Chains A and B, each alone.
Chain A
Amino acid sequence: MSASESARERIAFERVSVEFQTRSGPLRVVDDVSYRVHDGEFVSIIGPSGCGKTTMMNLVAGFVQPTAGAVLLDGKPVVAPGPDRGVIFQEYGVFPWLTVRQNIAFGLNLRASRVPEGERRAICERYMRLMGLADFADAWPKTLSGGMRQRLAIARAYAVRPEFLLMDEPFGALDAQTRSAMQDLLIEVLHAEGKTVMLITHSVEEAVYLSDRIVIMTARPARIREIVRVPFGHPRTESLHEKSEFGELRSHVRELVMKEYAEQARQSVHVPV
């Protein structure tokens, strides 16, 4: 499932810049970023917090338009959100007024991807089983733990069969053990149904463990500092963490990311009053 050089380009950033209007004038958050994500590839975006990583995901999701340059999906510019791109937010966004099953079925009841009753039921059952939610089909989200809510959000996104999975710090709010279990679950699900994935994270460990490539961003405005290829094959298991190559790559990435954090700290000291 690892992408080769010859694989089809799915997501392309072509010299993308984004500026937001603030009270003190325009603020550049993304600066001249170009990179590509190939079919079936798992790419992580990592960088200091507040550097503009989330904006990069919002560009692909269709929530933000570039000020300059273009974001292309299969060669066509992104104009709006759509069910071809599943988005997983850090704050889950599970619908509290719907049960687990109704949450998963939500997208399947919309005009954009409506399916017949029988098929809908089958899809719900499949993802509830895959995500370990089968025993909670008729439970309200308020009774679920954080990890279960995020599993539900992933199941709901998968149910509409997106081709892309965009994740913004999906496991950021979870404790370390749950987080690690969720990473393995994600690997499992991706193994079952390949997707082209863009993951926004600030965890080096997570990026190295999950990705085919890691895009390291600079402090704001976000520019590409370096793109690191992760040479490990798929599927990956927990034991990969113990390998020396894993440790070396992790140190390399961490060093680059830490430099950017230091740069960010320096910037914030020199912020003009």
Chain B
Amino acid sequence: MLRRTALILAPWAVIVLVWYAIHYSGIVNPALVPTPHSVLRRFGELAGDRLPQDVWVSTRRVFLGVMFGILLAVPVGFVLGWYPEVRRFVDPLLNFFRALPPIALIPLVIVYFGIGEMAKVVILFYASFFAGVIVMYEGIAQISPIYVRVARTLGARDDEIFLKVILPLAVPHMLTALRVALGVAWATLVASELIAAQTGLGSLIQNAAAFFQLDIIYVGIIGIGFIALAMDLGLRAVARRLVAWQERIA
């Protein structure tokens, strides 16, 4: 147990050491690389100030974007995965939109959705949907037809096959789609908060950039990373319980 903890912490310790090394070695101008302890001190100050509000607002935006994105990605991905004829026509469209970076859409989003919460959630929705839908349909397309055949020989009707065979087989893919979408949404957060955001981790970073407060930028970046990591770990714990039957569990 102790060994395991040590192994998990080791890479983090290495990063902190390298960080110190870069600061003190002078390879890079030390004024441009705040030390870990100064970033930590800044974190402490912000934690009693605007940081809780930033975390809450950003988390809510990510949550809403991912929720709507996945709510749409699951049925759409399902149809595309299950009906290859539909996929043939829709696939180029998906790849077209998927290739557009959300940041390039910001001007249009502002035109159509304004500069409020809605605009930020729309960007995150866009990113989550396209990430999720691909994972979902690739997964569904790989479901082996043997299970449907077996169910038919046991007397299952179409609705029973959907509810008792296809749905349980789709659950792991839904969870993977959710995981991927969450990761992508956190990665897109800063872009979404380019739209006139007063609060949020992305706006924290951008405001700090305007005043060259490097330590605050580090606090924002590390904050986003840790929240995304915590959510992923949580989701994996849920997945382990929900799809304990799988050969290989994420």
Contact = CB atoms under 8 A, between A and B. Distances in A.
Interface of A: 61-63, 80-83, 85-87, 89, 91, 93, 95-98, 106-107, 109-113, 140-142, 153, 156-157, 160
Nearest to A108: B154
7 contacts: A82-B155, A98-B168, A107-B155, A109-B164, A110-B157, A113-B154, A141-B245
Contacts of B244: 140
A150 B151 CA distance: 16
A107 B146 contact: no
B246 interface: yes
A87 B150 contact: yes
Interface of B, helix, strand, loop or mixed by DSSP: helix
Interface of A, helix, strand, loop or mixed by DSSP: loop
B160 A110 contact: yes
Interface string B58-94: 0000000000000000000000000000000000000
Given A89-B146, A91-B146, A95-B147, A106 B153 contact: no
B154 A107 contact: yes
A198 to B, nearest CB: 13
A153 to B, nearest CB: 8
Contact of A112 (B146, B157, B168, B247): B157
Contacts of A80: 152
B245 A87 contact: no
- Among B146, B154, B244, B245, the most chain A Cβ lie within 10 Å of the Cβ of B154
Interface string B141-165: 0000011011111111100100011
A111 B160 contact: yes
Contacts of B155: 82-83, 107, 110-113, 160
B115 interface: no
A91 B244 CA distance: 22
B153 A81 contact: yes
B153 A157 contact: yes
Nearest to B169: A97
B146 A97 contact: no
Contacts of A110: 154-157, 160, 164
Nearest to A82: B155
B153 A83 contact: yes
Given A95-B147, A95-B165, A142 B153 contact: no
Contacts of B164: 106, 109-110
A74 B67 CA distance: 54
B153 A86 contact: yes
Interface in B172-191: none
Given A93-B147, A97-B168, A106-B164, A85 B153 contact: yes
Contacts of A96: 245-247
Contacts of B171: 97
Nearest to A93: B150
Contact of A83 (B149, B154, B165): B154
A89 B246 contact: no
Contacts of A61: 153
Contact of A97 (B152, B160, B245): B245
B169 A160 contact: no
B8 to A, nearest CB: 27
Contact of A111 (B151, B157, B165, B246): B157
Contacts of B169: 97
Contact of A140 (B149, B168, B245): B245
A61 B152 CA distance: 10
Contacts of B246: 96, 142
A113 B157 CA distance: 11
Contacts of A82: 153, 155
Contacts of B156: 110, 112
Contacts of B245: 96-98, 140-142
Nearest to A159: B154
A139 to B, nearest CB: 10
A106 B154 contact: yes
B151 to A, nearest CB: 7
Given A96-B246, A109-B164, A112-B154, 20 more contacts: A80-B152, A81-B149, A81-B152, A81-B153, A83-B155, A85-B153, A87-B149, A93-B146, A95-B168, A96-B245, A106-B164, A107-B155, A110-B154, A110-B160, A112-B156, A113-B155, A140-B244, A140-B245, A157-B153, A160-B154
B168 to A, nearest CB: 4
B153 A87 contact: yes
A234 B168 CA distance: 43
Contacts of B150: 87, 89, 93, 95, 153
Nearest to B146: A93
- Among B149, B160, B245, the most chain A Cβ lie within 10 Å of the Cβ of B245
